[in-house]
A and B are shown apart, each in its own frame.
Chain A
Amino acid sequence: MNTLASHPDRIATSLFGQILTSLVAAIFLCVPVLCLAEAATVIRATELKQAPASDAASAGELAANARVDALERQGGWTRVKAAGGAEGWVRMLALRYDGAGAAKQGDSGIAQALNVARTGTSGAQVTTGVRGLDAEQLANAKPNTAELKKLERYTASKNAAAEFAERGHLHAQQVSYP
């Protein structure tokens, strides 16, 4: 009697739940994948290189506005797979992404949900007053001196920062402002 068939609304709910679950799973599973192979366009005619260097051998030519999948970045170069199947490296700054990460659903609460899903923040934490920083919140904000005090507590000394840099094998360089 208490079967799903006699409760079409429950079927709908459970179907919706399943879709939602798959959607959430898709978000978690696909985001890193998307980062690795994102649809992009080259902004001008450019040579495809066999290695990430300007003196590397050619791996073909790409016409302006050619469609590619961007695979990985190394320095100023991005490895791409062209529509015809050719693979090689192009200047990172010659690529513009499609902005298709969120499939252009518009700002329906899905983008918001995506944000929450990606950041791993539970609903409970979101409702503790941190809805984030929009123009209205900035305009109406009251000073929070307790947080300002906290900020001071985290500062690093010049010396501590220099040791930190050394541990990361970071070497200071003389670079003029362009």
Chain B
Amino acid sequence: MPQRLTLLACFALATASAQAQFNLRNLDINKLVDTAKNTAKATTEIGEQEEIGIGRDVAARLLGASPLMANDGVQRYVNHVGRWLASQTERPDLPWQFGVLEAPQLNAFATPGGNVFITRGLLERTKNEAELAGVLAHEMAHVLRKHHLKAIQKGAQTALAGEALQQALTNRGGANANREKLISLGSEVFARGLDKGDELEADRLGVAIAARGGYDAYGLPAVLQTLQAMNPQDSGLALMFKTHPAPAERLDALEKLQGLLDAYAAQPQLAERFAASARARR
């Protein structure tokens, strides 16, 4: 009888230790899997919800630098043009939103997840709806190709590693210094600019998206020509010229699309609707 008990006890002990060992191994494996996941996050995909969340936070910063132009009619008009173009893209169901920033400088911005902005300064230099569509479509191409998101991600790899990056991306919990850092990287992209290749790609896609929407495909080239005709020393152009290839270079690149441009050159420009809607008095 006591012998049996001892045996049982031994068996129990052995089992327990095996269990403990297994648990330990399990923990190690979990940790390894986590680390691998974090590394993968930093180098590959950010989920769509995270992309949208990051884009909203970067947009809030941008709006901190310049609020929206206080004109409901103009804001709604630009949203209709933009939303129509968005429906012609491969990401029609993103929560697309468009805004006219009050800033007098000439510029346009996009943040991940479907937020697109044009400044009042640039809107006032565009002559018709096809030109506006060209500008919005260029910015939408940045969203579609995740240009900013990739730039933020690249910066985050050096500024935030492993756990910190994970925390910043998911943004769980209250005050999150890592999140702040990640969103700052987003604003920095606006000040520093994207790669030249990204800008030229956005021009090509922008022309195609405007043509898909039924607009005169020459809208974007026409805006570039307006910018090219302006004095490059004009203070309203400083940031845009610093962060984009020169308009002449962008026009040179678009000359290769002559066939596409000509095929959709006869589509509407809607100068009258533009004049009535975008120039509305506040």
User: Which A residues form the contact surface with B (CB < 8 A)?
Assistant: 38, 40, 73, 75-76, 91-93, 95-107, 111-112, 114-116, 118-119, 121, 126, 130, 132-135, 137-139, 141-145, 147-148, 150-152, 154-158, 160-162, 164-165, 168-178
Size category, B interface = 35 or more
B235 touches A111 (CB 8 A): yes
Alpha-carbon separation in the docked complex, A133 to B56 (Å): 18
Q: Whose C-beta in chain A lies nearest to the C-beta of B133?
A: A170
Q: How far is the CB of A79 from chain B (nearest CB, A)?
A: 14
Q: Whose C-beta in chain B lies nearest to the C-beta of A78?
A: B225
| Cβ-neighbour of A161 out of B80, B97, B104, B235 (below 8 A) | B80
Q: Contacts A143-B64, A155-B96 known; A119 to B239 CB distance under 8 Å?
A: no
Q: How far is the CB of A139 from chain B (nearest CB, A)?
A: 6
Mark B202-231 against chain A: 1 for CB-CB distance below 8 A, else 0.
Answer: 001101100111111010011001001111
A75 touches B121 (CB 8 A): no
Q: Contacts A96-B228, A104-B233, A133-B101 known; A75 to B218 CB distance under 8 Å?
A: yes
Q: Contacts A99-B230, A141-B187 known; A93 to B64 CB distance under 8 Å?
A: no
Q: How far is the CB of A93 from chain B (nearest CB, A)?
A: 5
Alpha-carbon separation in the docked complex, A72 to B228 (Å): 16
B262 touches A143 (CB 8 A): no
Interface centre among A103, A141, A174 (most CB of B within 10 A): A141
B233 touches A107 (CB 8 A): yes
Q: Contacts A119-B104, A160-B80, A178-B204 known; A168 to B228 CB distance under 8 Å?
A: no
A178 touches B208 (CB 8 A): yes
Mark B144-163 against chain A: 1 for CB-CB distance below 8 A, else 0.
Answer: 00000000000000000000
B212 touches A175 (CB 8 A): yes
B268 touches A168 (CB 8 A): yes
Q: Which residues of B contact A38 (CB under 8 A)?
A: 229
Q: Which 8 A-B pairs have the closest CB atoms?
A: A170-B214, A75-B265, A97-B229, A102-B231, A143-B60, A141-B64, A161-B83, A147-B63
User: Which B residues form the contact surface with A (CB < 8 A)?
Assistant: 56-57, 59-68, 72, 75-76, 79-84, 86-88, 92, 95-99, 101-105, 107, 115, 119-121, 124, 129, 183, 187-188, 190-191, 204-205, 207-208, 211-216, 218, 221-222, 225, 228-236, 238-239, 242, 248, 251, 254-258, 260-262, 264-268, 270, 273
Q: Whose C-beta in chain B lies nearest to the C-beta of A109?
A: B235
Q: Which residues of B contact A144 (CB under 8 A)?
A: 60-61, 63-64, 67
B231 touches A139 (CB 8 A): no
B235 touches A178 (CB 8 A): no
Alpha-carbon separation in the docked complex, A176 to B216 (Å): 16
Q: Contacts A102-B233, A138-B191 known; A76 to B72 CB distance under 8 Å?
A: no
A93 touches B254 (CB 8 A): yes
Q: Which residues of A contact B273 (CB under 8 A)?
A: 168
Alpha-carbon separation in the docked complex, A107 to B265 (Å): 36
Q: Contacts A130-B67, A155-B96 known; A76 to B265 CB distance under 8 Å?
A: yes
Q: Which residues of A contact B214 (CB under 8 A)?
A: 165, 168-173
Q: Which residues of B contact A112 (CB under 8 A)?
A: 235-236
Instruction: Name 18 A/B residue pairs within 8 A (Cβ), A-sorted.
Output: A92-B225, A93-B251, A95-B225, A105-B231, A107-B235, A107-B238, A130-B104, A132-B105, A138-B190, A141-B65, A143-B57, A144-B63, A151-B59, A152-B97, A168-B270, A171-B267, A175-B208, A175-B211
Q: Contacts A107-B234, A162-B84, A177-B204 known; A170 to B67 CB distance under 8 Å?
A: no
Q: Whose C-beta in chain A lies nearest to the C-beta of B107?
A: A133
B213 touches A172 (CB 8 A): yes
B103 touches A165 (CB 8 A): no
Q: How far is the CB of B208 from chain A (nearest CB, A)?
A: 5
Q: Which residues of A contact B232 (CB under 8 A)?
A: 99
Q: Which residues of B contact A148 (CB under 8 A)?
A: 56, 59-60, 63
| Cβ-neighbour of A177 out of B67, B208, B231, B238 (below 8 A) | B208
